[in-house]
Structure 1
Amino acid sequence: MNTIFDFLGQIPWWCWPIVFLAIVAIRDINQKKHTIKHNFPVVGHLRYWIETIGPEFRQYIVANNREELPFNRRQRSWIYASSKRENNFQGFGTDQDVNGAGYIFIKPALLTKRLPKDHPYRENPYVLPSAKVIGLPHNRRKPYRPKQVINISGMSFGSLSARAIESLNKGAAKFGCYHNTGEGGFSPYHNKGGDVVLNIGTAYFGIRDDDGNFVMQKLVDLTKNNPSIRMLELKLSQGAKPGKGGVLPASKITQEIADIRHIPLGKDVISPAAHSAFSNIPEMIDFIESMADATGLPVGIKAAVGKLEMWEELAELMVKTGKGPDFIAIDGGEGGTGAAPPSFADHVSLPWVYAFSSVYKIFKKHNLTHRVTFIGSGKLGLPAQAIMAFSMGVDVINIAREAMISIGCIQAQVCHNNRCPTGIATQNKWLQAGVDPTLKSERFYNYAKTLTKEVLEISIACGYEHPSQFTMDDVDVAMGDNNHTRPLRIAYEYEKVPVAYDGIHKLVNCAHLGGGN
């Protein structure tokens, strides 16, 4: 043994890299798992290394400002700059293809709306309450008016780190919006001052028994002990994977997550594809009413959209019984923060514009739009997309990935393997340590303020003081043929029902009352 060490000690230092590469080459040649490494020892590692950093490499070197998905560089840069209170303007005009299919044109008024000196916008251009009170038409005991039309969509503790959830909730508290828990249940990190919407998925995390069945008393106790919970959202499906239950890998399950969700440690948790508390539309309405009666809170549904027969049935029963959801959140099939098989994320369910327009037309036909608050979710966290959504009939917007970007997400697209480099979508303690909730909550607050301010400024430029006043003739969309454009009303073949609106002064005053009516 001493002879070997003596021999190694005689090797000059500059030869050590050669010795190391020789060892790697011998190992590569003798392994059979990777053909490239066997056939091209040492050099073959470069191929796998480049493949690993491919998304990040393309982001910063290969892709141009407008071609990358889900969010291109220009969109991400606007969110980053807004969250850091940096210059988010651009010079020398637009670099977009304004003739490309789907391009949005917002029509300004010839004369911009002149606001009176006592208009709330002059004092604070960052407050924009919902024009509708959720739960009031169904006489819920605790109706709720969202204090902002921009809010945080469902992202679970477990999928996101504790520090990320805490950052978003603290930012929501400062901005005044609500924070949806996602289906992972209500955690201590959702209880940092922001209003909360409790998402109830098929696994009933946190309000279930040992067999995964829904327990009403647990829901009642949870809402009673946590008055920050203002609404309940019954999740039927989500855009990334409708008809497929969520998956939380065992590697991301800590003891804390297991306790909050009431699940075992050490094994993947797969949510059922369907609810066990109901199996058809009449039973679903009864379940909604039972939760509303027991808690007093407004109850709504969240769903991706495909076949429309059950939406028709839901609308017909709402007319017949006077019962049903207080709000409907439509999730676009573009996918979201949840990990999903590519076949689901890419092909199952309709994109947001087609999904929302299909459902809205059904509820308009049955004269139900006044009874329901419509929530849009699916890449709507940018000013032009938000205005388009309001023009189509949306009352409130939920944002998820844009909120993640505002607190540091770099779109690495590794949310599903616990290796998120920014510490946002991982339970790895080392990676999480880089997320400072005090700083990141301020970043979300700045982004949400900027988005709200720009939505308001566009509204004023178009002659309105609230985005709920937009009509479908206020926005054109490029059709892609002969460079023609069409108003949303013609493109999607319906007219939005006007929303009852009695002035921004009253909405702001109501918002100061804690979101009540």
Structure 2
Amino acid sequence: MESIWEFLSSIDWYWYLIFLIIIVFLYDVFQRRHIILRNFPVVGHFRYWLESIGPELRQYIVANNREELPFNRIERGWIYASAKNENNYEGFGTDRDIYANQYIFINNSMMAHKVEKGSVTDLEPSFLPCAKVMGAAKNRKRPYRPASVINISAMSYGSLSAKALDAMNNGAKKVHAYHNTGEGGLSPYHKRGADVVFHFGTGYFGVRDDEGNFSMEKLKKLVEENPQIRAIEVKLSQGAKPGKGGVLPGSKITKEISEIRHVPMGEDVLSPPTHSAFQGVKGLVDFVEQIATETGLPTGIKAAIGKLEQWEELAEIMKTTGKGPDFITVDGGEGGTGAAPPSFADHVSLPWVFGFSDLYQVFQQRDLTSDIVFIASGKLGFPAKAAMAFSMGADCINVAREAMISIGCIQAKACHNNTCPTGIATQNQWLQRGIVVPEKAERLASYFKKFNKELLEITHAAGYEHPCQFDMRDVDVSTGDTNMTQTLEYTYKYQKTPVDFKGMKALKECEHLGGSRH
């Protein structure tokens, strides 16, 4: 044995390298899976290595500032700077192609709205509640006015890590925003003090029985034990994969996730594409009304938009019976924080601006828009895009990926394989250790504050006190060479219904309807 070790020790290191290359060469030549390696042994591995780091090369070296999708470097940089409370301005003018098709312009007023000294906005610049009250039109027992127009969208525990949700909920508490649970159930990390919108989908996680069916008793018990739950949202579909059930790989299911979702350990968890708790549109209305009656909470629905026939049926039922959802969350086809097949993410359901304009008109034609709180979701986490959404009829904005970016997401696009390098979209404990919850909570809060500040400044530039006062004439969109720019009213052929807004002072006086500020 000693003689063999002495022999190996006497060999120079480069002979080891040559030996290793010969082994790799022989393996490559005789393997059957990869053409490149059979034809170009050894050197072919460099091709696969370069392919593996291609996204990073393009993100940091090759792509220009405005080229990447879904969020380019300028957009991510604005969120990062806002979250870190750094200078988020830019110098030397815009580098956007302002003549591009679909480019939006906010029409400023000749005289901006003046913020009077001693007014609500002057004394409390971050005070920007929703102008409408969820559940007020149908006299729900516990109506709810969101204390912020910008809130955290549905992202579940399982898709995101415990520390990521912990940071988000703590951050939301600081800025009085609500935190949507996503369909993974109510976790301990949703209980850090922020208002909560409890969201469930076809898997009924957190409110399901042993057979996987919806349990009203479990929902009632959950609401009774957790007063921070201020509204219930039933997910019909989501922007990334409407009409397709979700999958949580068994590798991401921890003991805690198993207990919260009421699912077995080690097995992939499948959400079916349709609900078993009700059938058809009439069944949906009855289901929503039953939940609202049993819990006393405003109850709404979330969906991506495509065909309108069933939406028209829903509107007709709501018009004739006075029953139905208190709020509707419209998710754009460009959304998606988790995993989805490219065929769905790329092609199924309309982008937010097209889907929302179609849907809003369905309810407006039946004089129902004043009774519904419309929530917009789908890459709207920037002040100018939010202003456009408000002008089209949105009452609140939900942000998902933007919230992830604010706490450190680098757009690695690894959400679907449990290897997120920032620990945000993984259950890997080692990767999660990089998230310092108090620090990331401050960053999310800072992003929300800067968002609200710039949204209010744009609102004041247009001559208004609150974003709810925007209408379709306040935003122009570039429609091509022939028409140049036209208002949203001209482009989408409708005008939003005016919101009953009596001033920020009146909202302040009704502040008791929101919960997170107390």
Residue pair 2:145, 2:513 contacting (<8 A) in 1 also: no
What is the DSSP-based 3-state SS (H/G/I as helix, E as strand, rest coil) of the residue aligned with 2:88?
Answer: coil
Residue pair 2:331, 2:352 contacting (<8 A) in 1 also: yes
For residue 495 of structure 2, what is the aligned residue in structure 1?
Answer: 495
Counterpart of 2:57 in structure 1: which amino acid? Answer: F
Identify which range, 323-332 or 29-38, moves more after superposition.
Answer: 29-38
For residue 316 of structure 2, what is the aligned residue in structure 1?
Answer: 316
For residue 122 of structure 1, what is the aligned residue in structure 2?
Answer: 122
For residue 20 of structure 2, what is the aligned residue in structure 1?
Answer: 20
Alpha-carbon distance in 1 for matches of 2:280, 2:516: 32
CA 1:9–1:152: 2 relative to 1, 3 Å: same
Provide, for residues 101-145 of structure 1, a one-character-per-residue CA deviation record: whole Å limited to 9, x for no partner: 110100111111112112122222222000001101010000000
Q: Name structure 2 gaps, 5 residues minimum.
A: none
Q: Which runs of 4+ in 1 moved over 6 A?
A: none
Matched, 1:76 2:88: no
Residue pair 1:144, 1:516 contacting (<8 A) in 2 also: no
Alpha-carbon distance in 2 for matches of 1:155, 1:219: 19
Matches within 5 A, 1:371-410: 371-410=371-410
What is the DSSP-based 3-state SS (H/G/I as helix, E as strand, rest coil) of the residue aligned with 1:109?
Answer: coil
For residue 252 of structure 1, what is the aligned residue in structure 2?
Answer: 252
- The CA RMSD measured in Å over matched residues stands at 1.4
What is the DSSP-based 3-state SS (H/G/I as helix, E as strand, rest coil) of the residue aligned with 1:476?
Answer: strand
For residue 141 of structure 2, what is the aligned residue in structure 1?
Answer: 141
Residue pair 1:335, 1:346 contacting (<8 A) in 2 also: no
Provide, for residues 329-385 of structure 1, a one-character-per-residue CA deviation record: whole Å limited to 9, x for no partner: 000011311211000000001110110000100110000011100000000000111
What is the DSSP-based 3-state SS (H/G/I as helix, E as strand, rest coil) of the residue aligned with 1:166?
Answer: helix
For residue 412 of structure 1, what is the aligned residue in structure 2?
Answer: 412
Q: Name structure 1 gaps, 5 residues minimum.
A: none
Matched, 1:286 2:282: no
Cα displacement (A) at 1:27: 2.8
Counterpart of 1:299 in structure 2: which amino acid? Answer: T
Matches within 5 A, 1:55-94: 55-94=55-94
- How many aligned residue pairs are there? 517
For residue 33 of structure 2, what is the aligned residue in structure 1?
Answer: 33
Cα displacement (A) at 1:31: 2.3
Counterpart of 1:364 in structure 2: which amino acid? Answer: Q
CA 1:515–1:133: 2 relative to 1, 3 Å: farther
- Identity between Structure 1 and Structure 2 (%): 61
Cα displacement (A) at 1:34: 2.1
Counterpart of 2:425 in structure 1: which amino acid? Answer: A
Counterpart of 2:93 in structure 1: which amino acid? Answer: G
Residue pair 2:476, 2:486 contacting (<8 A) in 1 also: yes
Cα displacement (A) at 1:516: 9.7
Alpha-carbon distance in 1 for matches of 2:377, 2:295: 26
Alpha-carbon distance in 1 for matches of 2:40, 2:4: 30
Alpha-carbon distance in 2 for matches of 1:380, 1:278: 32
Alpha-carbon distance in 1 for matches of 2:462, 2:90: 21
Alpha-carbon distance in 2 for matches of 1:62, 1:296: 54
Residue pair 1:145, 1:516 contacting (<8 A) in 2 also: no
What is the DSSP-based 3-state SS (H/G/I as helix, E as strand, rest coil) of the residue aligned with 1:198?
Answer: strand
Alpha-carbon distance in 2 for matches of 1:419, 1:195: 30
For residue 164 of structure 1, what is the aligned residue in structure 2?
Answer: 164
CA 1:289–1:470: 2 relative to 1, 3 Å: same
Provide, for residues 295-336 of structure 1, a one-character-per-residue CA deviation record: whole Å limited to 9, x for no partner: 100000000011100110100000111110000000001131
For residue 328 of structure 2, what is the aligned residue in structure 1?
Answer: 328
Residue pair 2:335, 2:377 contacting (<8 A) in 1 also: no
Counterpart of 2:168 in structure 1: which amino acid? Answer: L
For residue 450 of structure 1, what is the aligned residue in structure 2?
Answer: 450
TM-score, normalised relative to structure 1 = 0.98
Alpha-carbon distance in 2 for matches of 1:178, 1:343: 32
Matches within 5 A, 1:110-509: 110-482=110-482, 484-509=484-509
Cα displacement (A) at 1:3: 4.8
Residue pair 1:142, 1:516 contacting (<8 A) in 2 also: no
Counterpart of 1:354 in structure 2: which amino acid? Answer: F
For residue 49 of structure 1, what is the aligned residue in structure 2?
Answer: 49
Counterpart of 1:44 in structure 2: which amino acid? Answer: G
Alpha-carbon distance in 2 for matches of 1:201, 1:223: 17
TM-score, normalised relative to structure 2 = 0.97
Alpha-carbon distance in 1 for matches of 2:370, 2:283: 23
Alpha-carbon distance in 1 for matches of 2:112, 2:314: 41
Provide, for residues 194-220 of structure 1, a one-character-per-residue CA deviation record: whole Å limited to 9, x for no partner: 110010100100111111100100000
Provide, for residues 24-46 of structure 1, a one-character-per-residue CA deviation record: whole Å limited to 9, x for no partner: 33332332222222322222222
